[in-house]
Structure 1
């Protein structure tokens, strides 16, 4: 269901918007029907986030900064 929440579109504008939405839905359905496995995005890879292992903090680590000397 599509709901207009602001403005007063003409019937032609509504038809154009509906055509875009239906075309996008058809393209998505066609892409999903092929059964191709989804490739994970590189930005969400856990190996990118935790690429290096840092030592455990010491007893006074709260008082030090990790800026190079």
Structure 2
């Protein structure tokens, strides 16, 4: 749960920076948010979540 919240917060910050920087207009930003919202309720959501979890685990396994 903590990772999910962190990813949502990070993506929210990126979206705000893109909006303020003029890289993305408010209309497309709303479409992107709605796309993510509706994507979360599809059958693809568990696969996306599993992929992000595996990426998180892979990053966590990297040793310096």
TM-score (norm 1): 0.37
**By percentage of residues, which structure has more helix?**
2
Higher relative contact order (CA 8 A, sep 6+): 2
Normalization by structure 2: what TM-score?
A: 0.39
